Amino acid sequence: MLKNKTALVTGGSSGIGLATAQRLRAEGARVAITGTDGDKLEAARHAIGGDTVAIRADVRSVAELKAMADTLGREFGRLDILFANAGIAYGTPIATTDEERFDRLMDVNVKGVFFTVQAVLPIMNDGGSIILNTSWLGHVGTPGRAALSASKAAVRSMTRVLAAELADRRIRVNAVSPGPIETPIHRSPDQSEDEFRAYAEKVGAKVPAGRMGLPEEVAAAVAFLASDQSHFMLGSEMAVDGGLGEI
C-alpha cells in the first residue's frame, strides 16, 4: 500500500512511534525515525529494518529539526509521509505545576510539532500526507491534566489550519487521537510486569472498550491516513481510544 513511499516518524524509538515505523515499513515505505537517545534509536533501527534511517534530534530545537530535514533530503531526496508523533505526558495540576514543567510540555507537544512540519515542508512531495498525534484528552475535562490537554487541543486546531494552508499543494493533514495505550510512557521505571498489568486493568476498566489499547492499533490508523485510501480526508481526527473520548 505504501510501496516506494518515504516516511518520517518523530519519536520513533519506542511505543506508538516504533510500532508505526514498523507498520509503514511492512507496507513498503522506506522509513526514518527520530529520537533523543542514541542507544534506543539504534535498537529501534534494527527492530524496524536495516535500511531505516535513525536521526538524533530534539523537536524543541529548530536548528536540530533543520539538520534533520537536511539529512532526510540527502537520504531520501523527497518525503511522502510525516507522522509528527514525538510528545511527552505528565500531570499538570493547576495548584502545583511550575513554569519549567509547563514550558517543557508545550515546547515538545506544540512548538515541536509546528516546527517539525515547517522543517520538512521544503522536501515534502506535493500530494503527501502529514499525520499529527493528538489525544482523547483534548475532548474531555480530566482533573490534573490542564496543560497536557491544552497542548493536544492545540495540535488538533493546528491540524485543521495546516490542512487548509497546504491544500493547494494537495498535502493532506490529518490527526490520530489515541486513548490510553500500553506504551513506556505509562510505565514507571521500577514497575514490575505484574504491577503494570494491574495498572492496565484499572485504566482499561474506565474505557468503554474495556481495556487499554495497543501501539499497533494506533499504527494501523496512521498507515491508513498515510495511504491513498484516505485521499478524501483533510483536517480530520481519527479516534483510536476505545470510545473514551466519544462515549
For 196-234, the pLDDT digits (tens) are: 898 899 999 999 999 999 999 999 999 999 999 999 999
Burial class (CB in 10 A: 0-12, 13-18, 19+), 150: middle
- Average pLDDT of the segment spanning 77-101: 97
**Chain mean pLDDT for the chain:** 96
Given a cut of 80, whether residue 57 has pLDDT beyond it is yes
CA angle 176, 120, 235 (to 5 degrees): 30
- For residue 189, name the pLDDT band (cuts at 50, 70, 90): confident
For domain 6-178+213-239, which architecture applies?
A: 3-Layer(aba) Sandwich (3.40)
For 9-44, the pLDDT digits (tens) are: 999 999 999 999 999 999 999 999 999 999 999 999
The pLDDT of residue 213 is 95
Sign of the dihedral defined by the CA atoms of residues 72, 238, 208, 136, in that order: positive
Domain ranges of the chain: 6-178+213-239
Q: What is the dihedral of CA 154, 156, 161, 164, to 10 degrees?
A: 170
The pLDDT of residue 188 is 79
Buried b (16+ CB within 10 A) or exposed e, 113-141: bbbbbebbbebbbeebbbbbbbbbbbbee
Given a cut of 90, whether residue 186 has pLDDT beyond it is no
- Average pLDDT of the segment spanning 74-79: 97
- Average pLDDT of the segment spanning 96-120: 98
- For residue 170, name the pLDDT band (cuts at 50, 70, 90): very high
Its pTM stands at: 0.96
Contact in structure between 130 and 82 (CB atoms under 8 Å): yes
- How far apart are the C-alpha atoms of 142 and 148, rounded to whole Å? 10
Write out the three cell numbers for 184.
513506556
The pLDDT of residue 235 is 98
- Average pLDDT of the segment spanning 105-110: 98
